[in-house]
């Protein structure tokens, strides 16, 4: 094997047996691997096996021979993958491997599944035990040779259940011979509880292990019907009766008997722990099993088998005596080597055993403690020591139980019944598998010997199958070596020195021990390659079996092989007063012997039985079923690799693989080979070579040798497929590298372009962002400047206005002050001047007076002096005035200077004042703000203090609220879950209620129609009762006597003998002529007239009269004749019976394709004419008289009678024919005839359509050539186009439509037929899709979808009048195919699949399609593992609901219409306007039909 980096291989693993791995690094001596579990390991190249990675994606193959690498790990993991998908069956060639699912899968075993596998070629459908059973049955019937089915496996692998299924299928397909009340399968299965109770026990691996081999022979008669059966048993494990190991149990029947209440008390039984044979193990109960209930089942099984109550009591008495016998203990006697009963307890058990055996207790003790030896001188009684007495006791218990078991098997065989004349049988062998335990004893040696024998037979069969395959493919196989195990069989059974012969020889010598036996064994077989001596034991030996080495402990070999029949025991029990026990031990003739022991070898007897079994198997054609137990815990969906690989070795499956490896293990069809390896040599795939030649060219190009080219397949030697895959991997690697190179270039270029575009975009964005930011900054600066200008202008203007107003105020104040000052100064000056003037005036006056007086004294001088003084004063005043003026000017100048200074000071002070005011205002504002902040802070502080207190409380409350919130959240989540669940339940309930409402409305309609039918039936039944009461015992014409009630009316009216016949002509019309004719003459004329009528009707029925304006002439003529002859009003007539028989005869002999549609049209037209024109006589009056109180019922009945005529447009006044009993019966017979014709047409259509559909379910295999354009077969003949098969379906439908319309079948019937045809197409295609894995592919889905599109076109062309709801009938296959062809299945959730893609399909059907799907076109995968797990969980919950377990669709065989439906759907027919055919006008009785004669 070429190991390269990345190669897929299998490597051994201690825990998983084998594990998938990838090669990391490879050298010539060792390979470094990375396992699927993530470990790195190093292994030798020769220890590795190649692995096909494609098989992991496909979910396994259904036949191991399809594996690319047929090796041990490939077989193991293929089973594991299929088991995970609940595909428990897998083929290995013709061998079926069945893995126990440990869960119920009833959908795999119902009637629908049996119907699918019935007659199907082996391997065409999915692997199934029914396929093996069907193959054996078909081979038996075709070749006339008996068959055998060998079911093997270890305990708990499902052998018994598989055997039941095989018998169930054989009963279904073979039926049973007449006279059997119960099927053989039922009888054999009903005996199973009995055999399981007495032959099954708990072992280490199985709670219900069969400790005997069973061969059920089902016998068939020459017609293939089951005629009898027989059961043979092999090697019951007798030693288990007296010796068991913990935690195993003895046979179930002992524990069942101890659990029975009354019987246990009767037989003085107690808990199993009180009995030696049961208490050696501490396991007394089984999980989930009630011993008391099992006891009742065993009792019922005995009743079913036919065991009488007395025999049942004797059987359980015998079992109780064995238990009491085991409790007898011995102690040394007074004499040497003698023994006696130990104590009172043992004496009690001896007495109980003797009572139950119905024999003498002292005689029982004597047979256990002594032995009688015959000599020439006479009889000698030899005492037995304690060990010998115990051995004698155990030998008696084993002998009694073995005889009892043989009696039960014989009784079951007599109950089932054997067919001694049967020449064909199918035998089902349910036998123990290969066993290898820690301690292996004599039982394992015998079991493994039997399996070696069966393995040799198996190897021969497998080699024969290989030869047949090679011969079929016409290849050379003469040099292939046959793998045989004859050397092991010679080692065991060859005389005179085989192991069995040496063991028997050792058993014959009393002093022989297992040491002497082992020594002799090693002396004879020292150099034998299959036998080894155990290193740490002197007596143990190891045999190399086909399944591996097994070490046997010889300690108990001799004891278990000795099967002494003690004559004293037989004589004692044959003399029992119980007939049953004495019957188990018939008296034997006296034999002169020196010992009462009669030696019998268990191994020799088993060898003889096995030889007889092999002779039986060699005379039959074998079929193999290998049962596998997936885990030791008996749990579903658990797969233990080590256990399974061991079972595969033990079951010979890997031996079959080795046989295949010796020849050509890899076989592929040319199309598969070219499809897989054509890419290695594309130069041969241009279409110039066929597939076979291309295959040869590819193999020669790689210089491969020893391959073989068969007719349809190429056969490769072991290892060659690895070379091909290695070369293919190299080609794919190179292609992958080239693709990667181109892809990386494309990705790099694409990334560069995208990065460049992104850089340009980013740069433009960044530049734009920077420009926008700069513009925004400038915009903000300009705005700030503008704002500053306006603010400054506003501030300056406010300052100016404030300064201007202040200056004006100051100026006005100063001016007012100055004015007031000047005014006050002027006022004061004026006052001073006035005061001065007054003072001066007063002084002048006084002076004047004084002067006047002095004048008088001194007028002149005085006047002069006065004048001088006045002048001086005037000058003084003038000077003063000038001075004051100068002072005033200087004062004003000083004032102006001071005023300017004061103004400047005032301005500065005003500015300071304004600034101070602003500062004061600001300070006030600040103080106010601080005051407010202080107050707010104080308030906030007090609020914070309150908040802190509240916060502490809130924290406490918050903790409480959190805890309550968590509780509420939990409650909320639970309530939400319950709410969603309740919503789902509510929606489901609403849907169910809607369905129930629809059903109720439908039922109401059905009730109405049934009420109408009831009214009609009441009417007819009343007429029939009147007819029954009024029938006379007279008979007129015995020549035509055939009572109608004997043939047709058994289910309608009470059976009454009628042998009279009355002419179709009414009696009323015959009375005027009766006086002129004699009785004989009148009878003769009547008979002749009747004969003419019958001949005419016969001609009408047998001839194809055709149609006129769409009206069937035959129906119209028959109706008019019956109406004209007054047949409907006759009390007694056989003419209706004659018509029905004539129609039935025509249907049998005519061409069904034309005659059935013709008579469907005529019979339905005649039925409509009867339905619309007949009326029962006098019914309403009778009802009114009979039940005056029930007016409501009478009104409903009256309405029911009138409604049909109202529907077709007849007026109430129209006169209808009064129908009598024969006419009513004729209408019912005609209804049955219409239904029969419809059913025949439908069944014939299905028979014609089935082979066409078989070709349409799978796309034709075409050669895979370059570009997939050419399609040539290996022989060079071009195959039919894929659409050709569907064209045949379309042609079939066109032919059907033309036949139906050509015979003027009403559109109502055409619609029903077309609908049922499309329903059959839907069912057949859908069931085939679910049963054949090769159909669940992407390409096949496209193929079927294209065919369905053609059907849709045909339906659209046929129009709704004829097609009806045919398109809806294809819902299942349409949705299934639609699911196959969708991409991205792994992304779909289960809800999307169920709601959107496949609403009509059940979860089981979706699961089946999902697990079987594989994409052969694009390599895509099926749905995700999560969806598969969800579906599996749903299926496990729903597994007990048997109504929903089947994934197959059932074909509806009911008639989809009633008489009322026909009457309402078919338009009215006027029978008057018809033309009589020329050849019918010759009949005198039909002259009234000719309009010219009228």
* pLDDT for the residue numbered 435: 80
> Do residues 97 and 65 lie in contact, with contact meaning Cβ atoms separated by under 8 Å?
no
Query: Would residue 471 show up in a list of annotated catalytic residues for this protein?
Result: no
On average, the pLDDT of the chain sits at 80
pLDDT digits (tens, 9 = 90+) for 1136-1155: 888 888 888 888 776 777 78
Question: Is residue 1424 over pLDDT 60?
Answer: yes
- 59, 74, 93, 156: the catalytic one is 156
- 206, 279, 347, 1271: the catalytic one is 206
Q: Is the dihedral of CA 1280, 1282, 1285, 1289 positive or negative?
A: negative
Of 236, 233, 239, nearest to 557 by C-alpha is 239
Query: Would residue 156 show up in a list of annotated catalytic residues for this protein?
Result: yes
Query: Would residue 6 show up in a list of annotated catalytic residues for this protein?
Result: no
Q: Is the dihedral of CA 1353, 1359, 1360, 1361 positive or negative?
A: negative
Structure tokens at 1348: 């369905």
* pLDDT for the residue numbered 140: 92
- Split at pLDDT 50, 70, 90, the class of 1335 is confident
Order across the sheet with 666-669: list the strands: 666-669, 713-716, 708-709
- 55, 72, 435, 452: the catalytic one is 435
Could you give the 3-state DSSP secondary structure of residue 331? strand
Q: Is the pTM of this model over 0.85?
A: no
- 59, 228, 326, 433: the catalytic one is 433
- 71, 100, 162, 209: the catalytic one is 209
- Split at pLDDT 50, 70, 90, the class of 1063 is very low
1024 vs 705, more confident: 705
- Binding-site residues from annotation: 153-160
- Split at pLDDT 50, 70, 90, the class of 1035 is very low
> Do residues 628 and 97 lie in contact, with contact meaning Cβ atoms separated by under 8 Å?
yes
Residues 1456-1478 have a mean pLDDT of: 73
Residues 376-385 have a mean pLDDT of: 81
Of 528, 521, 562, 555, nearest to 544 by C-alpha is 528
Max mean pLDDT range (25-29, 355-359, 570-574, 1232-1236): 355-359
d(CA 243, CA 394): 9
- The 10 Å CB-count burial string (b at 16+, else e) for 31-47 is bebebeeeeebebebee
Of 234, 176, 281, nearest to 443 by C-alpha is 234
Could you give the 3-state DSSP secondary structure of residue 460? helix
Residues 1267-1278 have a mean pLDDT of: 36
* pLDDT for the residue numbered 647: 85
Question: Is residue 1044 over pLDDT 50?
Answer: no
Residues 1434-1443 have a mean pLDDT of: 65
- 90, 94, 126, 155: the catalytic one is 155
Any idea which residue has 């092991």 for tokens?
488
Helices and strands (DSSP H and E) totals, the chain: 45, 30
pLDDT digits (tens, 9 = 90+) for 652-663: 777 777 777 667
Could you give the 3-state DSSP secondary structure of residue 613? helix
Residues 131-159 have a mean pLDDT of: 88
Query: Would residue 174 show up in a list of annotated catalytic residues for this protein?
Result: no
- Binding-site residues from annotation for ATP: 153-160
Query: Would residue 505 show up in a list of annotated catalytic residues for this protein?
Result: no
Pairing of β 17-26 and β 31-35 = antiparallel
- Split at pLDDT 50, 70, 90, the class of 597 is low
Q: What percent of the chain has pLDDT over 90?
A: 19
* pLDDT for the residue numbered 786: 94
Which phi and psi angles does 198 have, rounded to 5°?
-100, -10
* pLDDT for the residue numbered 310: 92
> Do residues 1234 and 1164 lie in contact, with contact meaning Cβ atoms separated by under 8 Å?
yes
d(CA 1218, CA 1181): 14
Query: Would residue 206 show up in a list of annotated catalytic residues for this protein?
Result: yes
Structure tokens at 505: 């020889």
Give the up-direction half-sphere exposure of residue 336: CA atoms within 13 A in the CB hemisphere.
0
d(CA 258, CA 268): 9
Name residues whose C-beta falls within 8 Å of residue 1453's C-beta, 6 or more positions apart in sequence. Answer: 1239
Q: Is the dihedral of CA 1014, 1017, 1019, 1024 positive or negative?
A: negative
Residues 1022-1044 have a mean pLDDT of: 43
- Split at pLDDT 50, 70, 90, the class of 358 is very high
Query: Would residue 1295 show up in a list of annotated catalytic residues for this protein?
Result: no
Residues 848-866 have a mean pLDDT of: 71
* pLDDT for the residue numbered 176: 64
Radius of gyration over every alpha carbon of the chain, rounded to an integer in angstroms: 59
pLDDT digits (tens, 9 = 90+) for 1098-1114: 878 877 777 877 778 78
Query: Would residue 435 show up in a list of annotated catalytic residues for this protein?
Result: yes
> Do residues 328 and 346 lie in contact, with contact meaning Cβ atoms separated by under 8 Å?
yes
Name residues whose C-beta falls within 8 Å of residue 911's C-beta, 6 or more positions apart in sequence. Answer: 803
């Amino acid at each position: 094997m070429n190991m390269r980096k990345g190669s897929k291989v299998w490597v051994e693993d201690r825990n998983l047996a084998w594990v998938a791995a990838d090669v990391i690094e490879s050298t010539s001596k060792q390979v470094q691997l990375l396992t699927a579990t993530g470990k790195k390991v190093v292994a030798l190249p020769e220890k590795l096996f190649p692995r096909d990675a494609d098989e992991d994606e496909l979910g396994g193959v259904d036949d191991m021979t399809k594996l690319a690498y047929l090796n041990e790990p490939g077989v193991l993991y293929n089973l594991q993958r299929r088991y995970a998908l609940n595909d428990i069956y897998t083929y290995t060639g013709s061998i079926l491997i069945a893995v126990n699912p440990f869960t119920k899968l009833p959908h795999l075993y119902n009637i629908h599944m049996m119907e699918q596998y019935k007659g199907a070629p082996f391997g065409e459908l999915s692997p199934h035990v029914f396929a093996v059973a069907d193959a054996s049955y078909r081979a038996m019937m075709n070749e006339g040779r008996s068959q055998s089915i060998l079911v093997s496996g270890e305990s708990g692998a499902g052998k018994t259940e598989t055997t039941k299924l095989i018998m169930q299928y054989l009963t279904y397909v073979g039926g049973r011979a007449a006279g059997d009340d119960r099927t053989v399968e039922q009888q054999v299965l009903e005996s199973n509880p009995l055999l399981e109770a007495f032959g099954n026990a708990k072992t280490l691996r199985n709670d219900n292990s069969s400790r005997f081999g069973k061969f059920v022979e089902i016998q068939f008669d020459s017609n293939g019907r089951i005629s009898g059966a027989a059961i043979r048993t092999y090697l019951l494990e007798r030693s288990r009766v007296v010796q068991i190991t913990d935690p195993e149990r003895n046979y179930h029947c002992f524990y069942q008997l101890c659990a029975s209440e009354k019987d246990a008390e009767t037989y003085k039984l107690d808990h199993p722990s009180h009995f030696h044979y049961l208490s050696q193990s501490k396991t007394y109960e089984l999980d989930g099993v009630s011993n008391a209930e099992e006891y009742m089942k065993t009792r019922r099984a005995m009743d079913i088998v036919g065991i009488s109550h007395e025999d049942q009591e004797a059987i359980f008495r015998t079992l109780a005596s064995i238990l009491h016998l085991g409790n007898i203990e011995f102690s040394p006697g007074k004499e040497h080597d003698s023994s006696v009963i130990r104590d009172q307890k043992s004496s009690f058990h001896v007495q109980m055993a003797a009572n139950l055996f119905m024999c003498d207790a002292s005689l029982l003790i004597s047979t256990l403690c002594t032995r009688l030896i015959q000599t020439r001188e006479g009889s000698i009684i030899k005492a037995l020591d304690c060990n010998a007495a115990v051995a004698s006791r155990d030998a008696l218990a084993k002998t009694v139980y073995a005889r009892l078991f043989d009696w039960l098997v014989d009784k079951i065989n007599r109950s089932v019944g054997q067919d001694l004349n049967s020449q064909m049988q199918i035998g089902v062998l349910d036998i123990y598998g290969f066993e290898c335990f820690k301690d292996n004893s004599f039982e394992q040696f015998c079991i493994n010997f039997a399996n070696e024998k069966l393995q040799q037979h198996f190897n021969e069969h497998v080699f024969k199958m290989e030869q047949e395959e090679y011969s079929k493919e016409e290849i050379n196989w003469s040099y292939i070596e046959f793998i045989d195990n004859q050397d092991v069989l010679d080692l065991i059974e060859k005389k005179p020195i085989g192991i069995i012969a040496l063991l028997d020889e050792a058993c014959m010598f009393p002093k022989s021990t297992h040491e002497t036996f082992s020594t002799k064994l090693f002396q004879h077989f020292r150099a034998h390659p299959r036998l080894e001596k155990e290193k740490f034991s002197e007596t143990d030996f190891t045999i190399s079996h086909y399944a591996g080495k097994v070490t046997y402990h010889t300690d108990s070999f001799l004891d278990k092989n000795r099967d002494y029949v003690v004559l004293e025991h037989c004589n004692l029990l044959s003399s029992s007063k119980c007939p049953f026990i004495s019957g188990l031990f018939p008296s034997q003739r006296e034999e002169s012997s020196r010992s009462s022991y009669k030696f019998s070898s268990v191994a020799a007897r088993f060898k003889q039985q096995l030889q007889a079994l092999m002779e039986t198997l060699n005379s039959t054609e074998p079929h193999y079923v290998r049962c596998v137990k997936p885990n030791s815990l008996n749990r579903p969906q658990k797969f233990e690799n080590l256990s399974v690989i061991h079972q595969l070795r033990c079951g010979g499956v890997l031996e079959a693989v080795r046989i295949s490896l010796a020849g050509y293990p890899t076989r592929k069809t040319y199309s598969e080979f070219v499809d897989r390896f054509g890419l290695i040599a594309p130069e041969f795939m241009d279409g110039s070579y066929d597939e076979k030649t291309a295959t040869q060219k590819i193999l020669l190009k790689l210089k491969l040798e020893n391959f073989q080219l068969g007719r349809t397949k190429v056969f490769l030697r072991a290892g060659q497929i690895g070379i091909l895959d290695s070369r293919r991997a190299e080609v794919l690697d190179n292609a992958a590298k080239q693709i990667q190179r181109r892809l990386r270039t494309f990705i790099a270029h694409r990334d560069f372009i995208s990065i460049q575009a992104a850089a340009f975009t980013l740069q433009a964005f960044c530049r734009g962002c920077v420009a926008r930011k700069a513009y925004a900054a400038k915009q903000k600066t300009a705005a700030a400047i503008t704002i500053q200008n306006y603010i400054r202008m506003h501030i300056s203007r406010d300052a100016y206005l404030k300064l201007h107003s202040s200056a004006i105020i100051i100026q006005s104040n100063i001016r007012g002050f100055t004015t007031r000052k000047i005014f006050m100064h002027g006022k004061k000056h004026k006052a001073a001047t006035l005061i001065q003037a007054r003072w001066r005036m007063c002084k002048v006056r006084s002076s004047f007076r004084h002067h006047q007086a002095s004048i008088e004294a001194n007028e002149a001088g005085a006047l002069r002096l006065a004048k001088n003084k006045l002048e001086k004063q005037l000058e003084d005043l003038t000077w003063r005035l000038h001075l004051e003026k100068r002072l005033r000017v200087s004062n004003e100048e000083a004032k102006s200077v001071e005023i300017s200074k004061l103004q400047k000071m005032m301005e500065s002070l005003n500015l300071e004042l304004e600034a101070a005011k602003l500062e004061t205002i600001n300070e006030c504002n600040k103080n106010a703000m601080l005051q407010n902040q202080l107050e707010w802070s104080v308030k906030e502080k007090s609020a914070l203090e309150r908040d802190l207190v509240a916060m502490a409380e809130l924290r406490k409350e918050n903790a409480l609220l959190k805890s309550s919130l968590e509780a509420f959240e939990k409650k909320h989540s639970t309530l939400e879950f319950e709410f969603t669940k309740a919503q789902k339940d509510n929606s489901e309930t609403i849907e169910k209620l809607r369905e129930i409402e629809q059903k109720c409305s439908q039922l109401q309609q059905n009730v109405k129609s049934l009420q109408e039918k009831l009214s009609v039936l009441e009417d007819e039944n009343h007429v029939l009762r009147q007819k029954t009461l009024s029938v006379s015992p007279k008979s007129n014409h015995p020549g035509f006597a055939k009572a109608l009630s004997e043939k047709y009316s058994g289910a309608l009216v009470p059976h009454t003998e009628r042998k009279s016949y009355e002419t179709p002509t009414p009696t009323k019309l015959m009375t005027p002529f009766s006086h002129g004719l004699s009785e004989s003459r009148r009878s003769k004329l009547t008979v002749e007239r009747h004969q003419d009528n019958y001949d005419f009707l016969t001609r009408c029925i047998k001839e194809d009269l055709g149609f006129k304006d769409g009206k069937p002439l035959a129906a119209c003529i028959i109706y008019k004749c019956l109406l004209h002859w007054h047949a409907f009003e006759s009390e007694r007539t056989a003419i209706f019976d004659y018509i029905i028989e004539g129609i039935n005869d025509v249907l049998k002999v005519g061409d069904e394709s034309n005659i059935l549609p013709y008579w469907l049209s005529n019979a339905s037209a005649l039925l409509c004419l009867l339905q619309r024109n007949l009326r029962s006589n006098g019914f309403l009056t009778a009802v009114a008289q009979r039940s005056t109180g029930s007016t409501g019922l009478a009104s409903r009945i009256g309405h029911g009678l009138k409604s049909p005529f109202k529907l077709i447009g007849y007026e109430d006044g129209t006169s209808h024919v009064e129908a009598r009993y024969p006419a009513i019966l004729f209408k019912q017979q005609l209804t049955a005839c219409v239904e029969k014709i419809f059913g025949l047409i439908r069944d014939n259509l299905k028979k014609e359509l089935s082979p066409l559909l078989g070709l349409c379910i799978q796309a034709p295999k075409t050669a895979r050539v370059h570009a997939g354009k050419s399609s040539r077969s290996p022989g060079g003949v071009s195959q039919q186009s894929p659409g050709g098969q569907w064209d045949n379906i379309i042609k079939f439908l066109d032919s059907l439509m033309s036949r139906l319309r050509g015979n003027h079948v009403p559109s109502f019937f055409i619609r029903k037929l077309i609908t049922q045809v499309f329903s059959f197409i839907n069912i057949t295609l859908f069931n085939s899709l679910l049963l054949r894995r090769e159909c669940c592919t992407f390409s096949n889905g496209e193929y079927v979808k294209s065919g369905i599109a053609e059907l849709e076109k045909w339906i659209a062309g046929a129009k709704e009048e004829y097609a009806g709801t045919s398109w809806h009938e294809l819902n299942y296959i349409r949705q299934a195919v639609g699911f196959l062809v969708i991409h991205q299945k792994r992304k779909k959730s289960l809800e999307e699949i169920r709601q959107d893609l496949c609403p009509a399909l059940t979860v089981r059907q979706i699961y089946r399609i999902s697990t079987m799907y594989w994409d052969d076109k694009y390599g895509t995968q099926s749905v995700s593992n999560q969806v598969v797990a969800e579906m599996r969980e749903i299926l496990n919950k729903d597994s007990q609901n048997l109504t929903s377990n089947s994934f197959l669709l059932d074909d509806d065989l009911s008639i989809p219409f009633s008489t009322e439906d026909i009457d309402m759907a078919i338009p009215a027919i006027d029978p008057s306007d018809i033309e009589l055919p020329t050849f019918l006008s010759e009949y005198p009785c039909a002259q009234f039909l000719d309009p010219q004669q009228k």
